[in-house]
Amino acid sequence: MSSSGSDDPVQLLKSLIACPSVTPDLAGVFEPLEAALIPLGFVVTRLRFDGDGSYPVDNLFAIRDRGGKRLLFAGHTDVVPPGETADWASNPFVPRQADGRLYGRGAADMKSGVAAFVAACARTIEAGEAETGTIALAITNDEEADAVNGTDKLMAWAKAEGHAFDFAIVGEPSSATTLGDSIKIGRRGSLSGAITVEGVQGHVAYPEKANNPLPVLAAIATALKADPIDTGTEHFPASNLEVTTIDVGNPVSNVIPGKGTLRFNIRFNDLWTPQTLKQWIGERIAAVDTRGCTIGFDVSGTPSRSFLSPLSGDVELLRAVIRAETGEDPTLSTGGGTSDARFIAQYCPVVECGLVGTTMHKTNEYVAIGDVEGLTGIYARFVARFLAGSRA
């Protein structure tokens, strides 16, 4: 073990869990990282970004520049609220080790990934296997909420500072049931929207004096779901639209409402962009008889783009490393929701490789200690071989 203890992922993970870093509160969570990284030769920079309708966010960028190939690790230290702490078997921000598990908020999602990568760097550096290439870390404290002043701006800052990367790993939980059984090479995009139909309010006994927007809203809902958006691609399932609510705010049965709103979300594959999907939605709306109503459509928030990383030798190297460490032959997945990998994909190829995430966001969140050690082994072997220029 190093004198700083930075090569022990479990102890570092305990230090991170002990910081109640619920988005966007830092709660001291960067301090254990700085204490581990600086003695290893990393130059650590803290950056605070704000504006764009969101709260200020603290971010951390660390780099150990030795030229050569350039590897980026990205992750987040913020966690979701624990909910009712009385429902936990113990304090969610006091790490508890029992029966081969480590309990605490953020144990699975994803302070364990951060701890494993830092420990892997320590082991690689101490073995003299990190002198032929560059390692960097981009850590945000805003992945679980707005994700406005986090990784997106951190990557833009890094590029402006002249940093470029050949490959990136995001340490999000990517394994399905056992460590290493899956890595994510892409993610679907996400677009949410609201369609508002305005008619004329009136008494139900005098429908000729009103104009009910609900039949139009129902027709729009039908039009949006009438035909599949697509049939999928080689690496992605079919894009899917779900109507999530139709609201009129009408508590009584003798009033025709004047306005109603339909909300939906689309998870889309690499056949689409937010712009082309907006056009597709507009065409579906235009095909509906307005019946004299006014229709408005707005995209809610900032859509997430889909991405697919190139199936390069670096991806195959990672798969080979996983097979060597765990015996698993990882599948290449694009399932799940969105992650900060979508921001990194604009700058370099990126995959997600992490632990099993079955307990993330749950009460009594935990991670298997053996998996934390296993992930550290995967990362350490990959860092050494990647920086040496190895291929699978």
Q: Looking up tokens 């809203």, which residue turns up?
A: 217
Q: Is 143 designated active site?
A: yes
The rounded distance, in Å, linking the Cα atoms of 93 and 361 is: 13
The rounded distance, in Å, linking the Cα atoms of 293 and 261 is: 13
CB contact at 8 A, 378 and 181: no
The rounded distance, in Å, linking the Cα atoms of 69 and 166 is: 7
Which of 78, 109, 152, 172 is catalytic? The answer is 78
Beta strands in the chain (DSSP E): 43-51, 54-64, 69-76, 96-98, 101-103, 133-140, 167-170, 182-184, 186-187, 189-198, 202-203, 240-247, 255-256, 259-268, 294-304, 307-308, 331-333, 350-352, 366-368
If you compute the radius of gyration of the chain from its CA atoms, what whole number of angstroms results?
24
Q: Across the strands, what pairs with 351?
A: 169
Which of 7, 109, 142, 143 is catalytic? The answer is 143
Residues 6+ apart with CB under 8 A from 64: 40, 41, 42, 43, 121, 125, 130, 134, 135, 136
The rounded distance, in Å, linking the Cα atoms of 90 and 92 is: 6
Q: Is 227 designated active site?
A: no
Pairing of strands 189-198, 259-268: antiparallel
Residues 332, 338, 342: CA angle, nearest 5 degrees: 80
Q: Looking up tokens 């892409």, which residue turns up?
A: 186
In whole angstroms, what separates CA 120 from the centre of its chain? 22
The rounded distance, in Å, linking the Cα atoms of 18 and 92 is: 8
- Residue 137: closest CA among 123, 147, 151: 151
Active site residues: 78, 143
